[in-house]
Amino acid sequence: MKSSYNLDDYAQAEHDFNRARNKAMLSKISNFMEATRDNLLSFNTVKEILKPRSEIYRGMQEVPIKKIIGSEGRYRDFNRYFFPRSEFMRSRWESIDRARLRDVSLPAIRLYELGGVYFVRDGNHRVSVARYQGAEEIDAEVISLSTEIEITPSMTTEELSASVIAYEKKMFYEKTSFAELTGYELNFTQPGRYDEIYNHIQVHKYFLNQNQEEEIPFEEALISWFHFVYIPIIEIIKEENISANFPGRSLGDLYVWIIQHWYYLKKDHGMEYPVKEAVEDFSNRYGNTKSRFFWFFENFFSKLSELLFSGKNND
């Protein structure tokens, strides 16, 4: 893309970077009410949410640039449209821009494909320059990771989590006939909880089968778990108005956290430790103003994992 300003390549690349930075700043301003829409998605965060089970090497492809919406290691350095956010990126960005201005062939970038969109493994600056210059496709070496969840280019991490939760709920209801058996709506605000509930029911089923001549059906175990484990804890939560201390969280969320908390309390105080005291202790420890420390602790290991396994700061 040659300039109408008739500048040499160095001046043109400097001009291009300045414009790209201005675009990043304008995008940030236009999205100030919903800042997450201006962010690139973190590949490792998305991978942790979706938990893909396999990967396939797809080889070289021409990939639509508008479908590249995240990065493995540089998601903080560019905005959602791959415009540079920081001045320190100037030198590398301008060198790639000069190469494209001179029609120098650049190596193919490397991407992960997940849910129908792409994440940069290597080549973030090349994507940025290509997008600024108006390219619609880019050569890429692609590895696909399997998932049942479709990701749209405009989706935020929060919207992705909501899609995963909705999918998990659908699968759980179909697998267990939960709604038909209980007449109850089980909701969560985090992915992975329906699998935990399924495991809770299986453990309950295991204990019910002790000293039984014939194994009881899963449906019977589910109904027993619902009436004799889940509902009694939910009733305590409601009686003590525990939900008020955890705004935005569902009764299902509180049940899972309290069960985990009760488990550790029983290890310290004995197996007869009352569940009501566990509920009260949980609320006293983590509710109200203390809740921010609880959410920090809950996400600590996933954040640490993201930092450890995000890889080196690639191009």
**What integer pLDDT is reported at residue 8 of this predicted model?**
87
31-46 pLDDT, tens digit per residue, is 877 788 899 999 999 9
**What integer pLDDT is reported at residue 304 of this predicted model?**
46
**What integer pLDDT is reported at residue 37 of this predicted model?**
86
Give the residue ranges of the chain where pLDDT is below 50.
Answer: 1-6, 289-297, 300-313
- 59's tokens: 């080889």
161-191 pLDDT, tens digit per residue, is 999 999 999 999 999 999 999 999 999 999 9
Q: Parse the chain into domains and list their residue ranges.
A: 9-151, 157-304
Instruction: Look up residue 209 and give its amino acid.
Output: N
219-264 pLDDT, tens digit per residue, is 999 999 999 999 999 999 999 888 888 888 999 999 999 888 888 8
By percentage, how much of the chain surpasses pLDDT 70?
A: 89
Q: Which CATH number does 9-151 carry?
A: 3.90.1530.10
**What integer pLDDT is reported at residue 7 of this predicted model?**
61
- 36 close to 158: Cβ distance less than 8 angstroms: yes
**What integer pLDDT is reported at residue 200 of this predicted model?**
93
